[in-house]
Each structure stands twice: as C-alpha cells, then as structure tokens.
C-alpha cells in the first residue's frame, strides 16, 4: 500500500496568506523527503479558509523543491477555464516535472466560485464532462485541429491559421504518453461517476470526509465500469483518503487530534460540518441515510472520521479499515493547518517511517496465510 498526501488546505482566516502558502509548500516538501508517493492539492477561488486558487500554479512552485514525489492537482476544476488552456498548461507542467504529474479533475463545486465566474446557473457537471472530452482530444490529435464533438460547447480549431512549417497552430502533448494518470475525487456514496471512471481508465480517490463504510461503494462501481469494457479493476488504482494524526503518546493524539478546542482537526471538521449542513450534504457524515440529523455533532464526526492514536493504534485502525472496505492501493493522508508545527511534522514522520511499514508488513503476512490480527502483532 502506497502512502499519499492530500490537502485542500484549511487555515484560520486570521493567518497571513503568504504564511499559509509557505506552510503548505513545506508540507509537500516534507512529504517528498519522507517518501510519500504523491501529493494532491485542492483549489478554490473564493474561499479565505481554503485559499489556494490554482492547484497547478501552486504545484509548479514545488517542481524544483522536490525530487521524487508526484505532484497532483487535487483537483483542477474543469469548469473554471476553457479546456484548451487546461490541456496546454497541464501538458507543460508534465514536461517541467519530467512526468511527475498526476491530473486530478473535478467540476468545481463551490457555488461562490461559480457566481464569480458567471456560471451560477450553468450545469457544471456537463461542463466538466465536455471539458475532459476536449482535453483528451487535444492530446490525441495533431495540428491543425478541428474538434467539434456532438453536444459539446467547446470547439477547438486552428485550421484557418495553422502554419505547420513554423509550428503555428500546434497544441502541446504531455511528457507522459499517451497521457498522465487521471484521478477523480469521489465524495458521494454509490457515485455513478465512478462507473464512468472505470470505463475510461480514470482512477478514483475516495474523499477523507466520507464515512469509510461508503468508500466500498466506490470500488464496486469502479469494478463495474471496468467490467463493462472487458477489463479487470486493479486495487492499486484506488486511493482512499483518511484524516490521520499519529503521536508518540495517546494523550497527545487525542488532544491535538480533536479534543482540544485549538485542534486543527476540530477546526477542519467544524468547517466541513457547517458547510455541508448549509448546502444539504449532511448525509455524507451519516452511517445510515435514516440517521437523525441531530446525531451528527462535531464530536461524532471527529470520532468517526479521524484516525488518531499512537503508532500501534493507527496501524490497527488502518488494517481494520482495509478489512472493512477491501484492498486498495494508496492511503492518502489528509493535511491540516499546522497549529503546532512540531506535532504536524512528527505525525507525518511517524506515518511514513513506522505506520506504513508495519501496515505493509501485516498485509504481506496476511497474504501468506497469517491471520490479520496476528500479522499486525508480528509487524510491531
């Protein structure tokens, strides 16, 4: 199982923007030093708390500050700009990073972003589908272009102005051929979009703020999509994001991981709970659809969605997650605001150097016939 990093960084509004951008960069640099496989960074235009406005611009600042980690948009919101711009920028990024690029995509779901862009009344899901079709056509075709797909608002042509001998009318192709890995973040249980991911060989990333029991529905739909095109789903393609805090002692794990009023985990889930309640997405936090809304308190959410504890405890919780939802290829560690930088760094270090080696040792032992509980004990 690989270890990844994901942040749609949430910072208190009083913190200086330049300071939080530095902190977010330092988190990715640390992830690279610790051997994390990839780092996904989210974007929003109009949120002072989630204040990275361009994932690809932010990640470009890290190309020469990192060595091995793959830099992923988490996500590029495809309704924000014309797909020709997205395709060209992503292809250039792929070359600049020498293939250390993962193309994470989504429609863009923040309504204030849509309003600022004059898209509030648009079907952004349809815009998303149309945009990715055009991006792939740009990467698959040669100049001069005449891309006019049925029922697609985005038309791309350079026929009238192309001058091949001078390189005019050409749109760049990615460094990775035929294209970079494409990853879609999945939030809703039973999401039908994951079936389409399977059909098109896009890879799912199950969101960290969804109850873990519902993540299994993402895999089932992905496998269904693969099967529909005569392919077999590979668990290594499935990423599962979880909110994790690892500490050297249990008291610190509980305090910083949610009990303290200053806990960044408490701040993060208070933001999520408040936003989701307002927009009618509270069921994402529920264990059953009929569960009463009043049961979904902040402490309930923290208890259900934050994996926190010492190394041994976190190893056990991750192995229990795997038993619950099945095999998956990557555990994606959700980044938080660094209220106490030493604890934030220590958690990432323990996760990379102690938790994941023990998890993988336990998985290897289980696959050779040792029971899961016994395997976890042997891994310590």
Task: List per-block mean pLDDT (blocks of 10 residues) for the chain, which spans 380 residues.
Answer: 96 98 98 98 96 97 98 96 98 98 95 96 95 98 97 97 96 97 95 96 96 95 98 98 98 98 98 94 90 96 98 98 98 98 98 98 88 53
Pairing of strands 146-147, 70-73: unpaired
Residue 324 to residue 88: CA distance in whole angstroms: 41
Q: Peptide bond before 113: cis, by omega within 30 degrees of 0?
A: no
User: Can you tell me the distance from the alpha carbon of 97 to that of 210, in angstroms, rounded to the nearest whole number?
Assistant: 32
Picking from 53, 49, 136, 57, the residue whose alpha carbon sits closest to that of residue 89 is 57
- Residues in contact with 86: Cβ distance below 8 Å, sequence separation at least 6, in sequence order: 76, 78, 131, 135
What is the rounded radius of gyration, in angstroms, for the C-alpha atoms of the chain?
21
**What span, in angstroms and rounded, lies between the C-alpha atoms of 194 and 226?**
10
Question: What is the token pair recorded at 87?
Answer: 């395709």
CA distances from 214 to 99, 110, 148 (A): 33, 23, 38
Longest Cα–Cα distance of the chain, Å, equals 69
Quote the pLDDT of residue 376.
54
CA–CA distance, 274 with 333 (Å, rounded to integer) = 22
CA-CA distance, 262 to 240, in Å (whole number)? 27
* DSSP assigned state of 184: E
Structure tokens at 257: 């991981």
C-alpha–C-alpha distance, residues 75 and 90, integer Å: 12
**Helices (H) and strands (E) in the chain — how many of each?**
14, 12
CA distance 250 to 289: 33
Helix axis angle for 311-325 and 372-379, nearest 10°, is 150
Measure the CA–CA gap between 114 and 363, rounded to whole angstroms.
44
Task: Give which of 220, 215, 222 is closest to 241, Cα–Cα.
Answer: 215
Distance linking the first and last C-alpha atoms of the chain: 17
Partners of 344 in the β-ladder: none
| Structural element, H or E, at residue 157 | strand 156-157
């Amino acid at each position: 199982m690989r270890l990844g990093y994901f942040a749609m960084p949430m910072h208190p509004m009083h913190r200086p923007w330049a300071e939080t951008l530095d902190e977010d960069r330092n988190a990715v640099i640390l992830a690279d030093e610790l051997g994390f496989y990839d780092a996904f960074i989210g974007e929003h235009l109009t949120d002072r708390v989630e204040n990275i406005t361009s994932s690809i611009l932010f990640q470009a600042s890290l190309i020469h500050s990192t060595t091995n980690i793959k830099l992923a948009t988490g996500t590029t919101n495809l309704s924000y700009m014309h797909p020709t711009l997205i395709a060209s920028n992503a292809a250039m990024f792929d070359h600049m990073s020498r293939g250390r690029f993962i193309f994470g995509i989504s429609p863009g779901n923040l309504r204030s972003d849509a309003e600022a862009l004059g898209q509030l009344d648009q079907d952004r899901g349809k815009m998303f589908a149309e945009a990715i079709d055009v991006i792939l056509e740009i990467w698959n075709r040669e100049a001069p272009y005449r891309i006019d797909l049925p029922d697609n608002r985005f038309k791309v042509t350079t026929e009238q102005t192309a001058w091949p001998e001078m390189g005019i009318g050409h749109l760049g192709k990615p460094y990775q051929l035929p294209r970079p890995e494409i990853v879609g973040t999945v939030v809703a249980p039973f999401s039908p979009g994951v079936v389409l991911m399977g059909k098109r060989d896009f890879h799912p990333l199950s969101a960290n703020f969804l109850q873990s029991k519902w993540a299994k529905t993402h895999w089932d739909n992905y496998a269904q999509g693969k099967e529909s095109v005569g392919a077999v789903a590979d668990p290594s393609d499935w990423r599962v994001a979880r909110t994790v805090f690892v500490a050297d002692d249990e008291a610190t794990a509980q305090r910083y991981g949610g009990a303290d009023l200053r806990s960044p985990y408490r701040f993060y889930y208070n933001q999520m709970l408040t936003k989701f309640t307002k927009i009618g997405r509270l069921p994402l936090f529920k264990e059953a659809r009929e569960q009463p809304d009043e049961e979904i308190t902040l402490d309930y959410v923290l208890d259900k969605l934050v994996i926190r504890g010492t190394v041994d405890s976190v190893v056990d919780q991750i192995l229990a997650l795997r038993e619950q939802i099945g095999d998956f290829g990557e555990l994606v560690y959700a980044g938080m605001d660094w209220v106490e930088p030493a604890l934030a760094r220590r958690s990432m270090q323990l996760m990379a150097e102690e938790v994941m080696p023990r998890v993988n040792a336990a998985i290897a032992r289980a696959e050779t016939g040792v029971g899961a509980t016994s395997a976890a004990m042997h891994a310590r």
